[in-house]
Amino acid sequence: MPTLNNLAAPQNLTVAATGASGAIFLRQLLALVDRDPRVKTVNFIASDNALRVFAEELGIRGRSNLVSQVLGSSSRKIQQQSNADIGANVASGSYAAEAMLVIPCSVGTLARIANGMAMHLIERAADVCLKEKRPLVLCVRETPLNKIHIRNMYRAADAGATIYPLIPTFYNRPTNLDAMARQFACRVLAHIGLPQSDAYRWKS
Ligand SMILES: Cc1cc2nc3c(=O)[nH]c(=O)nc-3n(C[C@H](O)[C@H](O)[C@H](O)COP(=O)(O)O)c2cc1C
C-alpha cells in the first residue's frame, strides 16, 4: 500500500506514554505496531505519571510487565525502557530509532520537549529526533488550552515536531471506544509511513 506522505515505513519506533488522559489510544497503537511485520523494534517508555493514568483508565497497577498489561498479551517486539535511564539506546542519535510517537502527550511533556529540557528519557529521545530531523509526533491532550500550551505547540512544531492532537474522527461511525481509538492510531501510523490496511478511508 502506498504511504500517504511518501515516507519509508520505519522499522524501529519509539513510543512514549505520558500522564495525559487517553490510555486506550496507546493500547490500540501498541497492538497495531505489535502485529505490523514492517515494524521490527519498538522501544516503549512510560513516565511515572502515565502509570497513574493507566491505573485510572486501564486498571493497571505498578510497572511490572507493563507492556503485557497494556496490550493484554506479551510482545517480543516491544521493549520497555526506563524513563529514568538517560543512557538507554534511544537517548543517542547514533541508535537507529527512525521515528517517535508520544501518545498521549501531556502539556507538561510538551513544554519540556518544546523548550529542550531533556531531563528524562522521553524528552531526551524526542530531543534526539528533532536534532537528527527524524519524525516526532506529539499526540497532545488537554482542554481548554492556555496560551502557554499554544505557544509550546508552536515551538515544538517550529522545531520539526508534528502536533497531532488526540482528537478522534466520527465520520467513520465508530461503534465503541476501541474502534474510535483504533482509527486514530491508524491515522497516526499512516502519518509516519505505516498505513494500516484495515483503516477507514474517506471515499467520497
Ligand atoms: C487521571 C489523570 C488525567 C490527566 N489528564 C491530563 C491530560 O489530559 N492532559 C494533561 O496535560 N495532563 C493531564 N493530567 C496531569 C498530568 O498527569 C500531570 O501534569 C503530570 O505532571 C504530567 O507528567 P508527565 O508529562 O511527566 O507524564 C492528568 C492526570 C491524571 C491523574
Q: How far is the CA of 187 from the centre of ligand 1 (A)?
A: 23
Least confident range of 1-10, 116-125, 176-185: 1-10
Condensed to tens digits (0 to 9), the pLDDT of residues 13-62 reads: 999 999 999 999 999 999 999 999 999 999 999 999 999 999 999 999 88
What's the pLDDT score for residue 204?
76
For the segment 114-122, the average pLDDT, to the nearest whole number, is 97
Q: How far is the CA of 196 from the centre of ligand 1 (A)?
A: 29
Which is the closest atom of ligand 1 to the Cα of 108?
A: 25
What's the pLDDT score for residue 108?
98
**CB 148 near ligand 1, within 6 Å:** no
SS3 195: coil
Q: In the chain, what is the straight-line distance between the N-terminal and C-terminal CA atoms, in Å?
A: 20
Which is the closest atom of ligand 1 to the Cα of 53?
A: 1
Question: From the DSSP assignment, how many helices (H) and strands (E) are in the chain?
Answer: 7, 6
Q: How far apart (Å, rounded) are the C-alpha atoms in residues 124 and 121?
A: 5
Return the closest-CA partner of residue 1 out of 197, 199, 198, 204: 197
Which is the closest atom of ligand 1 to the Cα of 22?
A: 8
Q: How far apart (Å, rounded) are the C-alpha atoms in residues 148 and 188?
A: 25
All three cell numbers of 169, joined, read 474522527
Condensed to tens digits (0 to 9), the pLDDT of residues 145-157 reads: 999 999 999 999 9
